[in-house]
Amino acid sequence: MSKIAFSPNANGNGVFTISSPNSGTNRAIALPDAAGTIPLLAAASNTAITSTPAELNILDGVTSTAAELNILDGVTATAAELNLIDGGTARGTTAVADGDGILINDAGTMRMSTVQTVKTYMTDGVGASTTYDAVGTYAFLYSSSTGMANGSTYAGSSLYPAGLLTDANSLSADDDISSGIAYTRGGVAVTGTWRAMGRSMKNSGTSKNRFTLFVRIS
């Protein structure tokens, strides 16, 4: 039969009191077959702790504060949904349709926005510029060196502003007439790299009549 021994501390002068509750029911408390210290509660409570030691040990090493843990309060996402933000998640080919959402960092606040909203913003142009010779802008230019194939890219250093004229009388130094079409060209070459959006493949004779619409791509 096991025994219970109470060992007082000879250096102490306080009274250690064990009290029983006001109950008319017999209660049995089993002590574990292990050595250690029994933790105390800060206040009396009848709430039973149902977690196992293994479950409580999951918290061993956790450094989160109560405020940080409370961030999870109210989260309704499933584990599978949370795992979608894992950088190793495979990319799918699910079609994007109106009503779908995209997660956006809105000046530090994460928000869900519809693809229609993003489409409108992208259509208007991200950082679009109407400044002459800016990336993304169009210009009617002529080439001083070669014919121009639609879709091909050309250095801005060989492209100059151009335009059509409705009056072929009193032409200036930058104006010319080719096959009855009056046009103007000259000024300072543009910068960057441009893509031809039209076609003008004349490679012989005067270079002044090789012009089409360009868009600056870089």
Domain locations in the chain as residue ranges: 92-128, 138-216
Q: What is the pLDDT of residue 207?
A: 47
155, β-bridge pairs: 193
Query: What pLDDT is stored for residue 203 in this prediction?
Result: 52
DSSP for residue 200: B
Mean pLDDT by 10 residues, the chain (218 residues): 81 84 84 84 86 89 90 89 83 89 90 88 64 87 78 89 69 55 74 88 56 88
User: Residue 50's pLDDT is what?
Assistant: 92
For tokens 């103007």, the residue is 184
Residues 6+ apart with CB under 8 A from 173: 186
Can you give the pLDDT at residue 180?
A: 55
Find all residues with CB under 8 Å of 104, minimum gap 6, and list them.
110, 111, 112, 113, 118
Bridge-based pairing of strands 159-164 and 181-185 is antiparallel
pLDDT of residue 176: 54
Please tell me what DSSP assigns to residue 209. T
HSE toward the beta carbon, residue 71, CA cutoff 13 A: 5
- Model pLDDT, residue 171: 58
What pLDDT was estimated at residue 46?
83
